[in-house]
Amino acid sequence: MALLLCLVSLTAALAHGCLHCHSNFSKKFSFYRHHVNFKSWWVGDIPVSGALLTDWNDDTMKELHLAIPAKITREKLDQVATAVYQMMDQLYQGKMYFPGYFPNELRNIFREQVHLIQNAIIESRIDCQHRCGIFQYETISCNNCTDSHVTCFGYNCESSAQWKSAVQGLLNYINNWHKQDTSMRPRSSAFFWPGTHTATPAFLVSPALRCLEPPHLANLTLEDAAECLKQH
Ligand SMILES: *[C@@H]1O[C@H](CO)[C@@H](O)[C@H](O)[C@H]1NC(C)=O
Ligand SMILES: *[C@@H]1O[C@H](CO)[C@@H](O)[C@H](O)[C@H]1NC(C)=O
Ligand SMILES: *[C@@H]1O[C@H](CO)[C@@H](O)[C@H](O)[C@H]1NC(C)=O
């Protein structure tokens, strides 16, 4: 059993997941991993719990299932981490558990954590899209914990003048995007608007962009918006 716990500790902390990017993660999870054996008196629970804690980050990335990149703001990561550590600390305050109880509770906390992360990522994205025009916010990439940002196209404009300027901003953004190292980007997003940096395309004067109209805006991503403009 000592050997098992030892192996569990050795393989820990290699994987990346959103929570991994929080500054207290190593300290907290190293404590959780090392104290599993004092909590469960059923021997089978120890390796199962150890594996859950070791695979926590990998499993998080597998369970997120997001159509948008896993990038979370620092503030929301801190909120999720606080909630998860609170649930874990509470679980670890119990003295002894019936067979199966401890790993089961770990699984519940894990699932709750995945929901919290999903909601945090989606909420920021929706907030961003509820603005008007191109907007960026700072995030951390859950894959490798590096600073990154998310750019979105907000469609919540209040006047046609604002809307025009928002769409113009989108065109400028897409053109700049195109001019950056073309080889680095996926093919699907590589397209060019002839002459947009010298003249305003005619459609902007009387916009009839079906794909940018309300029923389609619920899920609009920058990529979709670009695709939509490309077709006009
Ligand atoms: C992280 O650890 C520091 C120092 O121990 C503590 O002050 C802070 O509240 C912790 N944050 C979270 C989210 O647990
Ligand atoms: C980190 O991961 C993101 C994808 O989420 C990627 O775009 C970025 O280049 C990576 N950064 C490093 C330093 O590996
Ligand atoms: C939004 O996306 C979901 C899932 O991808 C899809 O089922 C739904 O039809 C989309 N809604 C609109 C208005 O495009």
Q: What DSSP string describes 196-228?
A: TTTS--GGGTS---GGGSHHHHTT--HHHHHHH
Same structural domain for residues 114 and 203?
no
CB contact at 8 A, 229 and 209:
yes
Residue 217 falls within a domain, yes or no? yes
Residue 93 C-alpha to ligand 3 middle, in angstroms?
44
pLDDT in 10s for each residue of the chain, 232 residues: 444 443 444 344 445 789 999 999 999 999 999 988 777 777 888 899 999 999 999 999 999 888 788 999 999 999 999 999 999 999 999 877 788 899 999 999 999 999 999 999 988 988 888 899 999 999 999 999 999 998 888 878 888 889 889 888 888 887 777 666 454 444 333 233 333 332 333 333 334 456 666 566 556 666 676 666 555 5
Provide the 8-state DSSP code for 212: G
| Locus of tokens 């979105």 | 152
Same structural domain for residues 123 and 61?
yes
Residue 147 C-alpha to ligand 2 middle, in angstroms?
9
User: What's the domain count of the chain?
Assistant: 2
Range of the domain at 189: 157-230
Same structural domain for residues 81 and 13?
yes
Strand ordering across the sheet containing 132-141: 71-72, 132-141, 147-155
Nearest CA to ligand 2 atom 10: 144
Nearest CA to ligand 3 atom 1: 219
**How far apart, in whole angstroms, are the C-alpha atoms of residue 232 and residue 228?**
7
What is the tens place of the pLDDT at every residue in 42-92?
788 889 999 999 999 999 999 988 878 899 999 999 999 999 999 999 999
Last residue of one domain, picked from the residues 82, 106, 127:
127
Residue 146 falls within a domain, yes or no? no
